[in-house]
Chains A and B, each alone.
Chain A
Amino acid sequence: NFMLTQPHSVSESPGKTVTISCTGSSGSIASNYVQWYQQRPGSAPTTVIYEDNQRPSGVPDRFSGSIDSSSNSASLTISGLKTEDEADYYCQSYDSSNRVFGGGTKLTVL
Chain B
Amino acid sequence: QVQLQESGPGLVKPSQTLSLTCTVSGGSISSGGYYWSWIRQHPGKGLEWIGYIYYSGSTYYNPSLKSRVTISVDTSKNQFSLKLSSVTAADTAVYYCAREGITMIVNWGQGTLVTVSS
Show the binding face of A for B, using Cβ within 8 Å.
33, 35, 37, 44-47, 50-51, 56, 90, 92, 97-104
Alpha-carbon distance A90/B48, docked complex (angstroms): 11
Residues on B with beta carbons closer than 8 Å to the beta carbon of A104 = 46-47
**CB atoms of B48 and A35 under 8 A apart:** no
> Would A47 and B96 be within 8 Å (CB), given that A101-B46, A101-B48, A103-B46 are in contact?
no
7 additional contacts (CB under 8 A) given A44-B108, A101-B48: A44-B96, A44-B111, A45-B96, A47-B104, A92-B47, A97-B60, A98-B60
Task: Check if B28 is an interface residue, CB within 8 A of chain A.
Answer: no
Residues on A with beta carbons closer than 8 Å to the beta carbon of B46 = 90, 101-104
Q: Identify which of A33, A44, A98 contacts B103 (C-beta below 8 A).
A: A33
A-B pairs, 7 with minimum CB distance: A50-B104, A99-B49, A44-B108, A101-B47, A104-B46, A103-B46, A97-B60
User: Chain A nearest CB: distance from B94 CB in Å?
Assistant: 9
14 A-B pairs (CB sep. < 8 Å): A35-B103, A35-B104, A37-B47, A37-B105, A44-B111, A45-B105, A46-B108, A47-B105, A47-B106, A50-B104, A97-B60, A98-B60, A99-B37, A99-B49
In the complex, residue of chain A having the shortest beta-carbon distance to the beta carbon of B37: A99
Interface residues of B in 50-91 (CB under 8 A from A): 60, 62-63
Alpha-carbon distance A33/B37, docked complex (angstroms): 18
**CB atoms of A98 and B49 under 8 A apart:** yes
